[in-house]
Structure 1
Amino acid sequence: MTTLHTDNPRDNEILESLDDDQFKAASTIDGPVRIIAGAGAGKTRTITHRIAYACSIGAWNPAETLAVTFSVKAADEMKARLLRLGVDEAVQAATFHSAALSQVRSAWYELSDAPFPQIIDDARAVLSTALKRADATMDMDPMQMRDILSEISWMKVSLIAPDDYVRVCAALHRIPPANLDPEAMAAVTVAFEHEKSSRNQMDFNDILLIGCNIIERQPEIAEHIRSHARHVTVDEYQDVSPLQHRLLQLWMGEGRSICVVGDAAQTIYSFAGASSYYLRHFAEEFGPLSADVQLNTDYRSTPQIVNYANMVLSGSPENEMYLTLRSPRNGGKRVNTVVFPDDSSEVQAIAQRIMRMMRNGHDTASIAILTRVNAQQRAVCAALAERHIRYQVRTDSGWQSSQVHVPDVTGAERHDQSKVLENASKLVTVSTIHAAKGLEFAHVFIIGCSEGLIPFCSGEEESLEEERRLMYVGITRAEDVLTLSFARTARAGGYTERRPSRFLLRNR
């Protein structure tokens, strides 16, 4: 039984700034806890204060405490927040892969005399050899190579062995990539794994598989690993794959000091094996729960933006599993929906709008243009560059920076651009919606809101639901102003007219 410094946890200054729901989650430190946290609801604040509180009263040993999230940046931010709250630096904040890599490295030389495998940076060379070994000798373009590697990754994180792949494809009506049939795809996978082993290499998902294997087969090492993970917190739990879930189960063993936080409405990586199933069924696996808390107050966005986000989800046949958000903010502008004649007009008008915003003193770092796919970004960047607006690009594979240099100008031109250049040190963000997850901006433009882009699918129910959640994630990146737009045709004078996205709604 945990002993508190006072009879009332509210007396602890670590918890005093939390709202009632956040407080309930953060002050419950015994047993399994689930936190369903909507966009902008302060989930990172809640879980870091929970960890800090448990450590401050001596209920948890920081060296036995592990916080897991899905990106290095998020892990670093969590660690920094914990240190600011006075938590001993022995507490671990890591991604699944970095935590597992540390565990595998420490155990490797106790178990093997072989050199530690090299982690692959670029798997295309390995795949190229594997294709030849599997007699899949047709020419593969870079896109097909990428799709094959993605399919191999999906199999691995979904815990599907090559021998089972044909059966799974038949059951799920799954079509392999690159015009391969299921048998050929399975053969390529086997060849890929053999080639990787012959080079003494492994990919990131191998780290998790090896970690699972060590814990399952080496009881003494397993106990040592578990001794550093007696109190586990998992962020973004809606994005856990079957492989990550298996590793988590092995970390926990018989332990039940686990807290998970997530939001089913923000599950946007199903194509990569992520599933909100484990979040939704957490009580069945780990129950009875000590606390099951919903954080539905969005402190980030205006009521108008929150209302729009709620309306997008309300059209879902699965809307009962999604939170309904509320905003405590006052005022705000209506969500703008703008129609343009063609793609060029759309990006040119948005770039011009940003130019006016900059002249009026808006911080360019607070502005984002969000796209559904990477290919849309080229025209956006060209329109910004024409106006000498500096920007950074966030694709689905990471950040790219672009510094746009302004040529020498004189007279009226110099005077006209001087206000713009006062903020050249700040960059407009151009990002896919996937890559913008976890970020927030005062002003957000979501372009290309037409059928075929948002949603970007052929109408299958599961894919459509993922697209709905993706639109929700894009909308909830906006703090103050949200503009949704689409172009009627691809180019001026085009005859094929697009239909507006089904997610464009009439404001209420």
Structure 2
Amino acid sequence: MEPDRVLEGLDPEQTQAARALRGPLCILAGAGTGKTRAVTHRIAYAVASGVVTEQQVLAVTFTTRAAGEMRGRLRGLGAPRVQARTFHAAALRQLSYFWPQVVGGPTPTLIESKAQVVTQAARACALQLDRTGLRDVASEIEWAKVTQVRPADYEAAIAKAGRAAPIAARDMARVFDAYEELCRERNLLDFESVLELTAAMLNEHPTIAEQVRAQYRYFVVDEFQDVNPLQKLLLDAWLGDRDDICVVGDPNQTIYSFAGATPAYLTGFSAAYPHATVVRLVRDYRSSPQVVGVANGVLRHARGETARHRIELLAQRPDGPDPSYTEYDDEPTEATSVARRIVALIDAGVPAREIAVLFRVNSQSANYEQALADAGVPFTVRGGTRFFDRPEIRHAVHTLRGARQGSNADHPDESLVTAVRHLLAPLGLTPEPPEGRQAREKWESLAALAQLAEDVAAARPGATMGDFVAELEARVATEHAPEFEGVTLASLHSAKGLEWDAVFLVGLTEGMLPIVYAETPEQLEEERRLFYVGVTRAREHLALSWGLARSPGGRKSRKPSRFLDGLRPASPSLANQREGRRTRPTAAQCRICGATLLEAAERKLRRCADCPADYDEDLLERLREWRRDTAAEQQVPPYVVFTDATLRAVAEHVPQDSSQLARISGVGAVKLQRYGEAVLALCAGDRPAGGNADATQGRGTTQ
């Protein structure tokens, strides 16, 4: 490919980055500004210009998905032989190749999970850890190794870092030491050791370092704000005394400090390389101006390092709808309203897979799983299992089932809530949340189960354990649609690097975001950056919401997140948004009784739900039969074709042509093209030609 053709279509800042072919380059890339486009075009331009060969380039990123995307783009740009790998994949390849020469003997076995070895190490220290404790200890070992902390130095290191150990610090150091010893004895390598040994091999064996550095002369590191000390050690070993390195990242998206990542390498790049070229990408191609305005507003109130390195985004997309800020009386009401709004978006043509509900902790997903299931909307839970499939919840449900017959009988004066909490206590439901991220997530799941018991008791005074277990079993048995076509439920951390047309940021209260255990200024700023990451996942629709109480009828003591200050409208407009009713320029009125219509389904029908319907019942039945057959042929849920509300609206208005059909809410341009002819034929009393819309064209979409 001609070099100049590679640069076609890049904006001025991206072009500047692509033309900086030699020496150190730092690309500060805001969310949605096309950083992958910039770095892949730069690599392809360097190859096309003869500055470097494809085989001499090593592009490093953090996930296999990101590496795969980079390779795909490079193939399209005429550079298919460029190596784009994760840190671990690149290091493992080199270590495996040189192992016979450096060490000899059998190649170590790579362990993808530390759990089994940690279990044995804990037993060797006469410690018994449950599943959650094992995960937390394994995570703590990872933190220690990536920050280059040895077992002997662990206690002093966490004191200096202000970090709480998941178990007693002395015991943690002992288990860490035993873990390392077991790995040595059994010739096992974890991912951190792969990086460490590769760096040591390069630093201690000059001839091998020469070979590797002769192979790779041109480096690109993506998401540089997430680099940890161990990865930086390896990167420096790869580079040697050279400086042909391009780093790209966004200090405003640093959200993994708890795992050892630090933005200091990115923000301090110019100090490390005083002759570096620095390019700032600020044109946001992902989100509407309205979403970009919220994102910029989030960082406008930042402090410390976040404020010093703030990137002000410039929106490039056309205008979209205004973000909504909605206050609810309680969490279940919030979840139910969000589910209704999601149904309305799907009716308007937004695919279910292009909608996400994002929350701070995984335990918040339970209400949304239930609300979406009740609304008939399929969903997938990213970054974790569904609530009732989590090991601690399955164990808890089993325990509660076993207590169904005897709990209240043995303790007749004990309330349902007290009995449930008593049974959950041995499983990990302590009065206060424990230390350790995994332990806290388990505790939050059990606390949500205890809260469900409170909700059942409040709704049905005198409810027994049998009543509660029946409620649990009904929820467990809720059927969920296939994941590939569903709304995404995800924590803010697991949403990093993804984007959707519509994003619902939920549970935005003090104590949840920022999380209750974020106390230092640095921790609070990381929570702000986490909020920023959530906002910038949205392309067009952004909804922010919070509930004042945990359960219906509960004390409304919660406060909206401090991160909403300066973003949300004044309180009078919030009052109009209670119960999910957003302010609108005009109010729709019932065409039968003249009352103001508040619910989306009522506005679609242009009448109150209680007013007598004047639709053709035979036509509605024919429409439902047609929808059922079409959905079966296309292998999608029936609501993907049209919702019940849209079919009722069609049966009431009986449109005679495409223009009349298009005016019905829920019939967008895509659905009009796909299904319009069949629907109009049914309205005219005819059988649709061919029976259904084209199944191949319609399969796998909710447009």
- Specify the alignment match of 1:92 in structure 2: 83
Q: Report if aligned partners of 2:224, 2:249 keep a CA contact under 8 Å in 1.
A: yes
* Offset at residue 175 of structure 1 (A): 2.1
Which among 259, 263, 282 is matched to residue 296 of structure 1?
Answer: 282
* Offset at residue 61 of structure 1 (A): 1.0
- How far apart, CA to CA, are the structure 1 residues paired with 2:44 and 2:325? 43
Q: Determine whether 1:475 maps to 2:535.
A: yes
Q: Report if aligned partners of 2:350, 2:501 keep a CA contact under 8 Å in 1.
A: no
TM-score (norm 2): 0.65
Greater helix fraction, Structure 1 or Structure 2: 2
Q: Determine whether 1:375 maps to 2:434.
A: no
Q: Report if aligned partners of 1:308, 1:507 keep a CA contact under 8 Å in 2.
A: no
- How far apart, CA to CA, are the structure 1 residues paired with 2:202 and 2:135? 32
Which among 321, 324, 327 is matched to residue 336 of structure 1?
Answer: 324
* Offset at residue 338 of structure 1 (A): 0.8
Q: Report if aligned partners of 2:224, 2:247 keep a CA contact under 8 Å in 1.
A: yes
* Offset at residue 50 of structure 1 (A): 0.2
* Offset at residue 453 of structure 1 (A): 1.1
Q: Report if aligned partners of 1:363, 1:423 keep a CA contact under 8 Å in 2.
A: no
Query: Once the two structures are superposed, what CA deviation does each residue of 1:110-130 show, in whole Å capped at 9, x if it has no partner?
Result: 223322111213322211111
What's the Cα RMSD here? 2.2
* Percent of pairs with identical residues: 40
Query: Once the two structures are superposed, what CA deviation does each residue of 1:6-33 show, in whole Å capped at 9, x if it has no partner?
Result: xxx7xx0110211101100011101100
- Specify the alignment match of 2:580 in structure 1: none
- Specify the alignment match of 1:414 in structure 2: none
Q: Determine whether 1:73 maps to 2:65.
A: yes
- Specify the alignment match of 1:225 in structure 2: 212
Q: Report if aligned partners of 2:330, 2:547 keep a CA contact under 8 Å in 1.
A: yes
Which structure would you say has the larger RCO, counting Cα contacts within 8 Å and 6 or more residues apart? 1
Is the alpha carbon distance of 1:441 and 1:116 closer, same or farther for their aligned partners in structure 2, counting shifts above 3 Å? same
- How far apart, CA to CA, are the structure 1 residues paired with 2:161 and 2:492? 27
Q: Determine whether 1:451 maps to 2:514.
A: no
- How far apart, CA to CA, are the structure 1 residues paired with 2:18 and 2:242? 19
AA aligned opposite 1:222? A
The 5 Å alignment of 1:24-173 reads: 24-87=16-79, 89-135=80-126, 137=127, 139-173=128-162
Q: Report if aligned partners of 2:378, 2:482 keep a CA contact under 8 Å in 1.
A: no
Is the alpha carbon distance of 1:73 and 1:454 closer, same or farther for their aligned partners in structure 2, counting shifts above 3 Å? same
TM-score (norm 1): 0.89
AA aligned opposite 1:44? T
- Specify the alignment match of 2:613 in structure 1: none
AA aligned opposite 2:93? S
Is the alpha carbon distance of 1:34 and 1:327 closer, same or farther for their aligned partners in structure 2, counting shifts above 3 Å? same
- How far apart, CA to CA, are the structure 1 residues paired with 2:484 and 2:105? 50
- Specify the alignment match of 2:644 in structure 1: none
Q: Determine whether 1:466 maps to 2:454.
A: no
- How far apart, CA to CA, are the structure 1 residues paired with 2:301 and 2:494? 25
AA aligned opposite 2:156? R
Number of equivalences: 474
AA aligned opposite 1:79? R
- How far apart, CA to CA, are the structure 1 residues paired with 2:69 and 2:489? 22
* Offset at residue 283 of structure 1 (A): 1.6
List gaps (5 residues or longer) in structure 1. 402-420
- How far apart, CA to CA, are the structure 1 residues paired with 2:20 and 2:323? 38
Query: Once the two structures are superposed, what CA deviation does each residue of 1:308-330 show, in whole Å capped at 9, x if it has no partner?
Result: 11111111112121111111233
Is the alpha carbon distance of 1:285 and 1:304 closer, same or farther for their aligned partners in structure 2, counting shifts above 3 Å? same
AA aligned opposite 1:383? A
Which among 289, 292, 310 is matched to residue 306 of structure 1?
Answer: 292
- Specify the alignment match of 2:301 in structure 1: 315
AA aligned opposite 1:150? S
- Specify the alignment match of 2:490 in structure 1: 431
Query: Once the two structures are superposed, what CA deviation does each residue of 1:82-130 show, in whole Å capped at 9, x if it has no partner?
Result: 000111x321000000000000010112223322111213322211111
Is the alpha carbon distance of 1:371 and 1:362 closer, same or farther for their aligned partners in structure 2, counting shifts above 3 Å? same
Point out the more displaced range, 299-308 or 270-279.
299-308
- Specify the alignment match of 2:12 in structure 1: 20
The 5 Å alignment of 1:172-191 reads: 172-178=161-167, 180-181=168-169, 183-191=170-178
Does the residue aligned with 1:434 lie in a helix, a strand or coil? Answer: coil
* Offset at residue 381 of structure 1 (A): 1.5
- How far apart, CA to CA, are the structure 2 residues paired with 1:430 and 1:266? 20
Runs of 4+ in 1 over 4 A off after TM superposition: 421-425
* Offset at residue 81 of structure 1 (A): 0.3
Is the alpha carbon distance of 1:164 and 1:76 closer, same or farther for their aligned partners in structure 2, counting shifts above 3 Å? same
Q: Report if aligned partners of 2:379, 2:483 keep a CA contact under 8 Å in 1.
A: no
The 5 Å alignment of 1:250-265 reads: 250-265=237-252
Which among 201, 208, 213 is matched to residue 195 of structure 2?
Answer: 208
AA aligned opposite 2:289? P
Does the residue aligned with 1:313 lie in a helix, a strand or coil? Answer: helix
* Offset at residue 240 of structure 1 (A): 0.2
Q: Report if aligned partners of 1:441, 1:479 keep a CA contact under 8 Å in 2.
A: yes
* Offset at residue 361 of structure 1 (A): 2.5
Greater strand fraction, Structure 1 or Structure 2: 1
* Offset at residue 425 of structure 1 (A): 6.3
- Specify the alignment match of 2:584 in structure 1: none
Q: Report if aligned partners of 1:296, 1:323 keep a CA contact under 8 Å in 2.
A: yes
AA aligned opposite 1:373? V
- How far apart, CA to CA, are the structure 1 residues paired with 2:318 and 2:84? 36
Query: Once the two structures are superposed, what CA deviation does each residue of 1:211-254 show, in whole Å capped at 9, x if it has no partner?
Result: 11111111111111122221000000000000000100000001
- How far apart, CA to CA, are the structure 1 residues paired with 2:71 and 2:205? 30
Which among 346, 353, 356 is matched to residue 358 of structure 1?
Answer: 346
* Offset at residue 396 of structure 1 (A): 6.1
Bigger radius of gyration among the two: 2
Does the residue aligned with 1:436 lie in a helix, a strand or coil? Answer: coil
